[in-house]
Amino acid sequence: MKTVIFSDVHGNFEALESVLAHASGAGAAQYICLGDVVGYGANPNECVERIRAIEGCVCLRGNHDAAVVDESERQFFHEVALEGIQYTETAINDSNREFLRNLPFVHEGASFIAVHASPYHPPDWDYVLDQDGARRAFGAMGERRLAFIGHSHYPAVFCDDGTATQLMPHEKVVLEVAKERYIVNVGSVGQPRDGNPLACYALYDDEESTIMLFRVDYDKERAAEKILRAGLPPVLAERILSGH
């Protein structure tokens, strides 16, 4: 079965629409959003509603989603991120707020686990950026061989042999789950931070045990203009254009 996996939309409706249009031709039987549907971007309602409209889509809780509905989640947010949360809190409607409030932290598939930040204490929003973070995550996976995460906005594959590699676009990576365990970061739809401003998502094929990352162009200028018109910090528009 093929599964489309994406994360960190962050209120960027133009990026989300382009990713879903591209993914529609992949023949996927399932869609999974790893969270952070909102925050930073100017279109929280449109992004939530678009994901809610995907039949059978699994959507998980990200730290920005949590912060919109729970002020206690905001204590570690920097000023720019906090402005995005405050904007979203004002803009989002009651139905979409309730949707965010009820999102689960973890999804367990037949052959993998999915979570926004890390399998290690998901409500703590731990980062998997290096081998220390990877060791904590692998230690929390139990017998599971594969985990999908987002959160850092940087697509990468961590292996429990101690290696980590950047997940490159349009390159099919074979996951030898019979021999090794893996943590795959699928990057960000709406705010990439790896120097490539193109939106990204991943396609997982559990029959072939492969993962492929796709980068999708979209109207970045329009998304950035919306951020500025909404009165959000200009750095959020600049990030969309630069991919940093």
| Residue 67 burial by Cβ neighbours in a 10 Å radius (0-12, 13-18, 19+) | buried
Task: Tell me if 164 sits within 8 A of 156, measured CB to CB.
Answer: yes
What residue type is 155 in one-letter code? P
Task: Tell me if 126 sits within 8 A of 159, measured CB to CB.
Answer: no
Per-residue pLDDT tens over the stretch 217-241? 999 999 999 999 999 999 999 999 9
Q: What is the CATH number of the domain that holds 232?
A: 3.60.21.10
What's the whole-model pTM score? 0.97
Does residue 138 have a pLDDT over 90? yes
Strands 146-149, 210-216: pairing is: unpaired
Helices (H), ranges, 127-169: 131-139
- Give the domain extent around 171: 2-242
Per-residue pLDDT tens over the stretch 181-221? 999 999 999 999 999 999 999 999 999 999 999 999 999 99
Q: State the total domains in the chain.
A: 1
